[in-house]
Amino acid sequence: MVETCDIEMEGHLIDSLTLTKALDKIMSMGGEFEIKKFQVGKKKHDTSYVMIAISGDDADHLGRILLALHPLGARVIEVEDVHLEIAPKDRVVPRGFYSTTNHITSVRYRGAWLEVEDIQMDCLIIIKDGRAVCVPIGQIEKGDAVVVGTGGVRVTPPQRPRERTFFEFMSNEVSSERPSGEIIKQLAGEILATKKVGGKIAVVGGPGIIHTGAGDALAGLIRDGYIDVLLAGNALAVHDIERQFFGTSLGMDPHGHLTSAGHRNHIYAISEVISSGSIRRAVEDGKLKGGIMYEAVKRDIPYVLAGSIRDDGPLPDVVTDTVLAQKAMFEALRGVDMVIMMATMLHSIATGNLLPSRVKTICVDINPSTVTKLMDRGSAQAIGLVTDIGIFLPALAEEVKMQKEAS
Amino acid sequence: MVETCDIEMEGHLIDSLTLTKALDKIMSMGGEFEIKKFQVGKKKHDTSYVMIAISGDDADHLGRILLALHPLGARVIEVEDVHLEIAPKDRVVPRGFYSTTNHITSVRYRGAWLEVEDIQMDCLIIIKDGRAVCVPIGQIEKGDAVVVGTGGVRVTPPQRPRERTFFEFMSNEVSSERPSGEIIKQLAGEILATKKVGGKIAVVGGPGIIHTGAGDALAGLIRDGYIDVLLAGNALAVHDIERQFFGTSLGMDPHGHLTSAGHRNHIYAISEVISSGSIRRAVEDGKLKGGIMYEAVKRDIPYVLAGSIRDDGPLPDVVTDTVLAQKAMFEALRGVDMVIMMATMLHSIATGNLLPSRVKTICVDINPSTVTKLMDRGSAQAIGLVTDIGIFLPALAEEVKMQKEAS
Amino acid sequence: MVETCDIEMEGHLIDSLTLTKALDKIMSMGGEFEIKKFQVGKKKHDTSYVMIAISGDDADHLGRILLALHPLGARVIEVEDVHLEIAPKDRVVPRGFYSTTNHITSVRYRGAWLEVEDIQMDCLIIIKDGRAVCVPIGQIEKGDAVVVGTGGVRVTPPQRPRERTFFEFMSNEVSSERPSGEIIKQLAGEILATKKVGGKIAVVGGPGIIHTGAGDALAGLIRDGYIDVLLAGNALAVHDIERQFFGTSLGMDPHGHLTSAGHRNHIYAISEVISSGSIRRAVEDGKLKGGIMYEAVKRDIPYVLAGSIRDDGPLPDVVTDTVLAQKAMFEALRGVDMVIMMATMLHSIATGNLLPSRVKTICVDINPSTVTKLMDRGSAQAIGLVTDIGIFLPALAEEVKMQKEAS
Amino acid sequence: MVETCDIEMEGHLIDSLTLTKALDKIMSMGGEFEIKKFQVGKKKHDTSYVMIAISGDDADHLGRILLALHPLGARVIEVEDVHLEIAPKDRVVPRGFYSTTNHITSVRYRGAWLEVEDIQMDCLIIIKDGRAVCVPIGQIEKGDAVVVGTGGVRVTPPQRPRERTFFEFMSNEVSSERPSGEIIKQLAGEILATKKVGGKIAVVGGPGIIHTGAGDALAGLIRDGYIDVLLAGNALAVHDIERQFFGTSLGMDPHGHLTSAGHRNHIYAISEVISSGSIRRAVEDGKLKGGIMYEAVKRDIPYVLAGSIRDDGPLPDVVTDTVLAQKAMFEALRGVDMVIMMATMLHSIATGNLLPSRVKTICVDINPSTVTKLMDRGSAQAIGLVTDIGIFLPALAEEVKMQKEAS
């Protein structure tokens, strides 16, 4: 028997695509709709409001439609408290649990709206000590009060900005045929603007940064205070350190010639750091005198080197347990405003999983599939640049310096 | 001084994204808007209507905004006739000419609405003998009455279909990680459905079809009557014929082994056809006894082999003049309902340029950039499949046969 | 002062490219050479022998050239014992240590030649209890006797096979334009031939296998006994199990439609396995009734699920510590004759690092860069297929079945 | 019955891979060999000589093996004159004709060796007025004396250079992970070195050069006299001219913003040039005042704009007949020493077809498949750079200027 229910949405519903997506969803899922009220934001800064009656073939069908509309900010009109169920064991979740988006989320608990803390995608919400917290399944503990269903949960998807910004400009384009020099200028402007208001910028980087000769540029950006957090793997750090110790990365010298050392310098660089005890100690010992990791230590910015099954060594600083590494990355990313991902698919997607959608995210890679996969995995806020990091990053660092001096 | 003007739009404005794009455009270009009337289509099949007052900084700014809104179907409310100017020379166009989209377009001429014939993107509209015709710049003749400005021109962009179809389903997804077997089933279904209602299907193919071993599958689809038009280049035809004559393509035998013949069989195949006079004659002579071109001749379907600067030979059937080849392709595509593009970037984009947006378009290539470029160039209706044509096409032909038998 | 030294090499020096690479190396590094003896294998099965006098600008230059020639099988003529040095601490290696290739390697110790056990690339050799063992830096212990320099070490690079095989055939080609159907036939033949002689086959797979609809085909190959080892990550296992429990993978149903479940089914699948305790228990509980992991448990083949920082959950079976995961992978790969890598860059490269060059290695991916990177990282024996796993794997499974029945 | 025949080869047989490829070919084709004489070039600059007895299963098998060895420089020992047959019709070739490589080739005619003029791959050789000339099949005329078989034809494949050069350095590497900045330095050095000895440099370019903002850099290189020939299509020229006239390319302004002009500026730029009569006239009229085409006209370097079926317009300068365009490209490339191909697959492969293997060839594209295809099609001498032309080309132009000033 047909079941009907009223939902409401508000915000920049039309130009942020929210209403479009909602009607699309209803039709795709075979539902019917009737728009009961529609107050359109008449001018640029006005928000819109819509009330829609949605019908499904039966209660179950309707439920599935409502579930699908929920991440778009739709909410059933009768406001109710969230429903909670108790986790029966550690890491075992109640059936029907609410699965989070990466957008700002609030829950109604005992009549009041609580904003969910630590929001990240594909996790759960628990209520603890009167606070609503987003936790991954791996951190659910027996007895936790877990939100189930969508009742009493409200999502606020990102709104299209009213002014033209770099991020808005880029996401309007899909082609790789864009004026690269101009993009570098705009990105440099964004970096300076973010730092000017005290924002925090994280870099997620792969070893390609070193191989393509862009290591010095990144080291310079760290030294000059533009980077607040560094997320990488064993490989970036080892290549960077090998470069400092022996002038090679994977046995290739800065002119791109393979030396006879092959992988030996790589392994020996690891051994030297192990012998010091850690990267920081290698800096303190006077062994390590420059490069990305050196600057990170000198500026005392937090870095996480997350382990992977491809690692040689690894360095003593590497967090080899992937669950602990995820936690460390999440902590390091707290409060970050902008993330620049470069030349790494694994670390970029892993970081994307941990970021709220409000964080400005740029992913730079020569391989377009890195960007495509990042967005497929849910980091829809990310913009992609398909370019050669070896020329791009030095040009960006230079541009930041020039704009800074000009300002 | 601020200039304001009312425009109106109608259709499935919200879920077809039209209104979203219009507001986006206005804001991106620095304009202001006020929504004066908004009648929302309350139910699935109802259309919506909106009237928007748009303001620009001055008449020129407003003009540029209106120009940008035009392809979305926006029209200024006071209906007027189109403005015409005379082309001063062959292939020289009046300043301010109206540049076409690939959507259904009408012009108001002497108080009546004429649908523009032969619509294709990036061309001009002329009024001739009381008819409105879309022509490329290369066909403009001195004295032609050319439409200038957007006044009196009405565009109807494609509307989101009310029911779920293969094409709608696919365009919701961007990932290459899709169930390929299922996609083959659905595409086979679309082919059969199109043929059932008497629709016409064109294939645009590159030589990769032969190299990857999918030639027999395409020949079979032609033989069985599923393909009505074949657009290709010299290379596909020569490889196909070389395969029939010598069992090789570019000297590679069907097991993928390079024979000692190298390119010689390729050249000799061309020579043999030249000696006959044409591909059709080679079939009539009994020289050519199978393959794609043989089946196309036997079924008497129109084919165009368009010349390119990469060609060997070429075959006598090749239209070596690219302007004439474009015309021949345009004529062959007239009335086509569905186009399947396979393993060719050049011919796919060239065909995309000639197609109205109402034609269902599928582009299949192992290289994602072919699809991306096709869409960048304006063929927004195209859906892309990133797959291996050598396995995909035989599986598709098999599936078509099975579904046909089952029906 | 110019230093000179005689080296010798033997094997199929010319057609296996060994001599070419050696002369190339000498010239690239600015050395001089004089070929003092050259006995050419006159017939197909004869080996060749060459003695070359190599000169460098000084002892150091000569040393660097000899080091670079070593992996090609070149050895200085005066035979000597290996030089050993003692590791001063755990994971700290003596300067000048010998860095391994992935080719068969022997060391001369106390006058006798010992074949190095557990050979893998970029590791060290230690002598322990009269045996020579290859160990990664992470397993070096204080006091280990580590081989330094190349003296007394002999490498035997792979020789070009005298007969035409699938692997030799493929590596002659670089293009993606190959007859895919034929390649499937030949690969199926290789699989059957390997199993016929009691060989072991490992599969390394990514979650794309499930998304593209090829999961059943892989499950079938395991059930029928063709696969002896399975290496994957959390994602493949969770998607496979989600598919069994809910018919979806990441919320996408087998028809490629996104259900409203989104990521929820994914997380719930993890929760259910955690609740059982392990995948094996979930099979024994009767919860898990089919799919890849089910068949692996049923046939009792070893599998390793290695953790990564992208993981949700993870499943209790996942080895979250990457160092332990590498070890588990290495153990599982012991004695394997053939490895098929599918749709995963991370796991493919990690596995490539652990394999001796004598293992037949095929890497199948839609993204050509996965194959390129694998070979860049040293797995030169790997051959790459750029194809769509969603059609390729079902066709391969079908072909294996047909060839088996025909035999 | 087994047939045997002696062949000989000379040159840097080992390090240029020639002997390796020859033995490989014999074994792949199922032949047997016995090396009868082998004089190894003992030192770096000595050439080697080998005499090999080759056996096939019968005369036909042996013939096929010899045919396959021919392009490697192998020749049967009994020296004989070339065999000639008469072309029966225009563009119809005698069976068994000799199919050319792109290497230096000589034919023995009336006892003397003639070097073949205008050598290019996949063509025929005719003897005319005592000269041997390479001609494509499309230019064969009735009555031409065409070389058949390999007797009396001698090929000299390129030898590995004895000194390390940029081109040799690059071709040793396959990875995209190379130090881009260093590569730019070396390529700039090659350009200056080529010009210093009076060499000629051609550029083959696609419209991506303009879209990515690298147009000014190319215009500068032409103005400064580094480029001697320009090969492109209609698109590059139109985008370049649109940029000069309207500041946009395809309606996109230099900041990457889409203006409302869309494709209209593009078409209008064409119209303006048509109205002048040609690009040169538009320069003389004072209409066209800068950019790539302007500099080409001003410096009076030959340019060929070859037509394609994707073209709008086209410009009056475009050679729309592809056969004539090929001829014009061939003429323009005569005597060129170095070719830089940028951001175009079609024109790069077409140019590659026309070049002798002795021409230094660099192909720069963001899409690795352009490079792969170029080499698959026979331009084995080409080296590929996978990078972003929008940053690469300006950096290259800057580097050329700096090195010039420093010299």
pLDDT of residue A34: 83
Partner-chain contact A41 B35, CB within 8 Å: yes
Instruction: Mark out chain C residues that contact chain D at CB-CB < 8 A.
Output: 14-15, 17, 19-20, 23-24, 27-28, 30, 32-36, 38, 40-44, 160, 162, 164, 168, 172, 174-177, 368-369, 372-373, 375-376
Residue of D15, D369, D372 with shortest CB distance to C24: D15
pLDDT of residue B228: 98
Distance from CA of D164 to the nearest CA of B (A): 32
Query: How many residues are given for chain C?
Result: 407
- Provide the mean pLDDT of chain C: 89
Partner-chain contact B27 A38, CB within 8 Å: no
Which chains share 3+ C-beta pairs under 8 angstroms with D? A, B, C
Q: Which residue from D75, D77, D136, D69 is spatially nearest to D106, judged by alpha carbons?
A: D75
All residues of chain C having their beta carbon less than 8 Å from the beta carbon of residue B180 are: 212-213, 388, 390-391
Residues B33-64: tens digit of each pLDDT: 888 888 877 777 888 888 898 988 988 888 88
pLDDT of residue B173: 43
Partner-chain contact A390 D208, CB within 8 Å: no
Distance from CA of B324 to the nearest CA of A (A): 29
Is the Cα torsion angle A272, A277, A278, A280 positive or negative in sign? negative
Beta strands in A229-301 (DSSP E): 229-233
Residues C277-325: tens digit of each pLDDT: 999 999 999 999 999 999 999 999 999 999 999 999 999 999 999 999 9
Banded pLDDT at A10 (limits 50, 70, 90): confident
Residue of B nearest to D123 (CA): B267
Partner-chain contact B271 D311, CB within 8 Å: no
Residue of A nearest to C330 (CA): A309
For residue A253, pLDDT beyond 90: no
Residue of C nearest to D170 (CA): C28
Helix (H, G, I), strand (E, B) or coil at B204: strand
- Min mean pLDDT across A287-296, C217-226, C389-398, D150-159 is at D150-159
Helix (H, G, I), strand (E, B) or coil at C294: helix
pLDDT of residue A231: 98
Whether B275 contacts D137, CB under 8 Å: no
All residues of chain B having their beta carbon less than 8 Å from the beta carbon of residue C175 are: 211
Partner-chain contact C177 B208, CB within 8 Å: yes
Residues D308-353: tens digit of each pLDDT: 999 999 999 999 999 999 999 999 999 999 999 999 999 999 999 9
Residues D72-114: tens digit of each pLDDT: 888 887 778 999 999 999 999 999 999 999 999 999 999 899 9
Residues A115-169: tens digit of each pLDDT: 999 999 999 999 999 999 999 999 999 999 999 988 889 888 877 665 556 665 5
SS (H, E, C) chain D: CCEEEEEEEEECCCCCCHHHHHHHHHHHCCCEEEEEEEECCCCCCCCEEEEEEEEECCHHHHHHHHHHHHHHCCEECCCCCCEEEECCECCECCCCECCCCCCEEEEEECCEEEECECCCCCCEEEEECCEEEEECHHHCCCCCEEEECCCCEEEECCCCCCCCCHHHHHHCCCCCCCCHHHHHHHHHHHHHHHHHCCCCEEEEECCHHHHCCCHHHHHHHHHCCCCCEEEEEHHHHHHHHHHHHHCCECCECCCCCECCCCCHHHHHHHHHHHHHCCHHHHHHCCCCCCCHHHHHHHHCCCEEEECCCCCCCCCCCCECEHHHHHHHHHHHHCCCCEEEEECCHHHHHHHHHHCCCCCEEEEEECCHHHHHHHHHCCCCCEEEEECCHHHHHHHHHHHHHHHHHHC
Q: For residue D277, what are the CA distances in angstroms to B253, D241, D273?
A: 50, 14, 6
Partner-chain contact A181 D390, CB within 8 Å: yes
Residue of B93, B268, B309 with shortest CB distance to D268: B93
Distance from CA of C4 to the nearest CA of D (A): 14
pLDDT of residue B394: 96
Partner-chain contact A313 C65, CB within 8 Å: no
All residues of chain B having their beta carbon less than 8 Å from the beta carbon of residue D347 are: 309
Among D305, D309, D369, pick the best mutation site for testing chain B contact (most B Cβ within 10 A).
D309
Partner-chain contact A312 C267, CB within 8 Å: no
Distance from CA of C155 to the nearest CA of B (A): 32
Partner-chain contact C19 D24, CB within 8 Å: no
Helix (H, G, I), strand (E, B) or coil at A125: strand
All residues of chain B having their beta carbon less than 8 Å from the beta carbon of residue D275 are: 88-89, 92
Distance from CA of D132 to the nearest CA of C (A): 33
Residue of A17, A38, A372 with shortest CB distance to B38: A38
Instruction: Mark out chain A residues that contact chain D at CB-CB < 8 A.
Output: 169, 172-173, 175-184, 186, 207-208, 211-213, 252, 254-258, 366, 386-388, 390-392, 394-395
Residue of A137, A261, A268 with shortest CB distance to C313: A137
SS3 content of chain B, % helix, strand, coil (to 5): 40, 25, 40
Partner-chain contact D178 A256, CB within 8 Å: yes
All residues of chain A having their beta carbon less than 8 Å from the beta carbon of residue D257 are: 169
pLDDT of residue A173: 43
- The two beta strands, B131-135 and B124-128, are antiparallel
Size of interface A-D (CB pairs under 8 A): 103
Residues C278-288: tens digit of each pLDDT: 999 999 999 99
- The two beta strands, D104-109 and D153-156, are antiparallel
pLDDT of residue D31: 85
Partner-chain contact D20 C23, CB within 8 Å: no
All residues of chain A having their beta carbon less than 8 Å from the beta carbon of residue C329 are: 309
pLDDT of residue D173: 43
All residues of chain A having their beta carbon less than 8 Å from the beta carbon of residue D189 are: none
pTM, whole model, 2 decimals?
0.90
Residues C371-395: tens digit of each pLDDT: 888 887 778 788 889 999 999 999 9
pLDDT of residue C374: 87
Partner-chain contact D19 C24, CB within 8 Å: no
Instruction: Mark out chain D residues that contact chain C at CB-CB < 8 A.
Output: 14-15, 17, 19-20, 23-24, 27-28, 30, 32-36, 38, 40-44, 160, 162, 164, 168, 172, 174-177, 368-369, 372-373, 375-376
Among A26, A27, A52, pick the best mutation site for testing chain B contact (most B Cβ within 10 A).
A27
- Which domains, ranges and CATH numbers included, belong to chain D? 1-77 (3.30.70.2690), 79-160 (2.40.420.10), 166-406 (3.40.50.10690)
Partner-chain contact D254 A179, CB within 8 Å: yes
Residues A372-407: tens digit of each pLDDT: 888 877 787 888 899 999 999 999 999 999 999 998
All residues of chain D having their beta carbon less than 8 Å from the beta carbon of residue A388 are: 180, 366, 386-388, 391-392
pLDDT of residue C283: 98
With a cut of 70, list the residues of chain B below it in pLDDT: 160-177, 250-252, 254-262
Residue of A nearest to D343 (CA): A177
Distance from CA of D101 to the nearest CA of A (A): 31
All residues of chain C having their beta carbon less than 8 Å from the beta carbon of residue B181 are: 213, 390-391, 394
Residues D170-196: tens digit of each pLDDT: 554 444 567 888 889 999 999 999 999
Partner-chain contact C308 A309, CB within 8 Å: yes
Average pLDDT of span A64-90: 88
Q: Which helix (H) or strand (E) holds B273?
A: helix B264-276
For residue C174, pLDDT beyond 50: no
pLDDT of residue B218: 98
All residues of chain C having their beta carbon less than 8 Å from the beta carbon of residue D14 are: 14, 19-20, 23
Residues A154-174: tens digit of each pLDDT: 888 877 665 556 665 555 444
